[in-house]
A and B are shown apart, each in its own frame.
Chain A
Amino acid sequence: MAEKSIEELESSAIALLHQELTEPLRMGIEVLNLVSALPGTDAPGKLAKARIVRYLIFQHPERFEMLYLAC
């Protein structure tokens, strides 16, 4: 049996990894912010299908949050 719970292990990991991964974490968030800032998301009914599909892929699962998950 592990001496610590998964929650406790994760809390310790976060404290360490925030320091170890500062630069790539910051870069990942910055790229995500630029994805979110891409224009043209309003009035989807007026958009071409190609643009709608590209936005849908960007939102897989939610606005390219695969990068958010990786961060």
Chain B
Amino acid sequence: MLAERGYDLQALGQAASIFEGWVTLTAIRNEDDAERWLLHSDESTSFGRIRPLTQQALQYILGEVQEADKLYGIYRQLCMAKHLNPILERTRGHEIQEGTIEFLPGPDTRPLAINHSWFALERGARLASFAIIAFIHNDPALLSSDLKAKIEEQQVRLNALQTLSVQRWPESYPPEA
């Protein structure tokens, strides 16, 4: 909805929320975790801090945390839009021509906005697929052979989309991110 209407920065923010959803969902491994989540009563803090939750998610799913910083780097990229980071914000919403500034409210369809929307959708889909895998990992009884095949097929298509995205927007995929 946001990306297709030209609200790329807001779409990036939603992708950051998907990241938070993935690592939080992965942290609910047993009844004690669920109880702690259900009883959480502090409005000033979230269920957990995202960097340690990212490390814990990888440790739980993969058995190692080697890629944690890289994944957290993706979250940091997405959060620049979510938290109005000036590095990103000051380049947007206006045009300067012949010394005159023109503000541009509403949707943005310029090349940079398309780049951002593409990145938000590609990363958002990938992160949501991580959540599906975590969901099944936590509850393997739900994994039928049919669902396993669908997940595997989808991972192939996600990899293809990522490859296409890296080719088209290499600056969005720095080696450390």
Question: Per-position contact with B for A15-42: 1 when CB-CB < 8 Å, else 0?
Answer: 0111011011101101110110111100
- The DSSP consensus for interface residues of chain A is helix
B68 at the interface (CB under 8 A from A): no
Q: Does A46 contact B (CB under 8 A)?
A: no
A32 touches B34 (CB 8 A): no
- Size of the A side of the interface (Cβ < 8 Å), in residues, is 43
Q: Is the CB of A28 within 8 A of B121?
A: yes
B residues in contact with A23, CB < 8 Å? 161, 164
CA distance A53 to B128 in the complex (A): 16
Asked whether, in the complex, the Cβ of A67 is within 8 Å of the Cβ of B14, the reply is yes
Is the Cβ of A17 less than 8 Å from the Cβ of B114? yes
How long is the Cα–Cα vector from A23 to B39 in the complex, in angstroms?
41
- Residue A50 CB within 8 A of the other chain: yes
A31 touches B21 (CB 8 A): no
Report the Cα distance A58→B132, complex, angstroms.
9
Contact, CB under 8 Å: B131 / A58: yes
A53 contacts B37, C-beta separation under 8 Å: yes
Interface residues of B, count at CB 8 A: 55
Q: Does B1 contact A (CB under 8 A)?
A: yes
Measured between beta carbons, the chain B residues less than 8 angstroms from A48 are 31, 34
Contact A9 B25 (CB under 8 A): no
Shortest CB–CB separation between residue A68 and chain B, in angstroms? 7
Which residues on B sit within 8 Å (CB–CB) of A58?
Answer: 21, 25, 131, 135
Q: A2 — nearest CB in chain B belongs to which residue? A: B105
> Contacts of A39 on B, CB cut-off 8 Å?
142, 144, 147
A-B contact pairs, 17 of them (CB 8 A): A2-B105, A9-B6, A16-B109, A21-B121, A25-B121, A27-B158, A28-B125, A31-B132, A34-B129, A34-B132, A49-B31, A53-B28, A66-B17, A66-B18, A66-B124, A67-B125, A69-B11
